[in-house]
Amino acid sequence: MQKEVQRYKEKCDALTLELAEQESARRTAISEIESRAHAAWLEARQAKREADAAKDEAATLRRKLAAMHQADGASSPNR
């Protein structure tokens, strides 16, 4: 009976150790995934900022072009 109890204790210790190793591996995996997600989020924010800046620049250039065409049309002798 004593040997059986000892065997169960050893089995319990082995399973406890295995569980701790699995939890550690999962925490590491979660940390890596969160790190990659954060990096992707930062890249997405930067891309959004760049897209917004390009959109603003395009709008500014369109306004300048329209103003130039208006100025050319006003000084044109055909008008």
Mean pLDDT (the chain, rounded): 94
pLDDT digits (tens, 9 = 90+) for 12-64: 999 999 999 999 999 999 999 999 999 999 999 999 999 999 999 999 999 99
pTM flag (> 0.75)? no
In the chain, what are the domain boundaries? 1-79
CA atoms of 70 and 32, how far apart (whole Å)? 57
- The separation between the first and the last C-alpha atoms of the chain, rounded to the nearest angstrom, is 112
CA distance 1 to 10: 14
pLDDT of amino acid 28: 99
- How much is the pLDDT for 73? 76
